[in-house]
Amino acid sequence: MLRLLGAGRSQIVKGDDVGEDVFYIVSEIAANGEVFDFVEAAEGLDPAYARQIMTQLVSAIEYIHKKKIAHRDLKLENCFLNDEVSLKVADFGMQKIFDGPQGEVLSTKLGTPNYMAPELLTGGDESYEGPPVDAFAVGVMLFIMCYGKFPFSEANDVYYRRLHKDPIKAMNVRKIDASPEFLDLVVGLTAPDPSKRYTMTEIKSHAWFQGPTASPQELKDYFYSL
């Protein structure tokens, strides 16, 4: 899988399976560690830097979805930075092909609780769509990028309900100064109804995404200044 995906997009970690009786995964080195650690060190990123990372992330996930693959464990801890501070999506251990001749019905509830969509927390064996699950995780990732904290612990807690009932009030209670455009994007990505979540294509045309964006070189310079 890494061989297939990594060959087609620079934002996906390149790798290969090696071995006969025992399999090893050999992948490229992402020398600058997790995106999560970068965001934590910066205590949240300026929107211009966040947009550059989002540009790379959305490109990677859009490509994965076009290949009819759902990642199903997207999180900042599974995104890495190489020596050029370019994003690399990794850890495809939970991926599944969801359409086409090899497509499977997705029903296994898995992932990391902070990033899991509501339909993954039901406890039943109902099927779900892969791309909206990934979109939900991207919404959580975006919030963390900009504010250095999670928007909620799980998609059924009081913070999640407040965010979707009255986003501006929810942020005021937490003393977070978030723009209406930003909140619209986060709320749209983490909508309770998976059919109403923004797709990767829709993210690219969203008002927040059109704001000032750091260049790859500016992102690199900022990273090494920390």
Catalytic residue IDs: 73
Question: What is the rounded distance in angstroms from the CA atom of residue 119 to the CA atom of residue 126?
Answer: 8
List Cβ neighbours of 113 (8 Å cut-off, separation of 6 or more): 153, 154
* C-alpha distances in Å from residue 46, one per residue of 12, 29, 130, 218, 220: 24, 27, 30, 12, 14
Query: How many angstroms separate the first and last alpha carbons of the chain?
Result: 35
CA 141 to chain centre: 5
- For tokens 């995964």, the residue is 25
Alpha helices in the chain (DSSP H): 2-6, 35-42, 47-66, 130-147, 158-165, 167-173, 180-189, 200-204, 216-225
**Residue 196 dihedral angles phi and psi, to the nearest 5°:** -100, 0
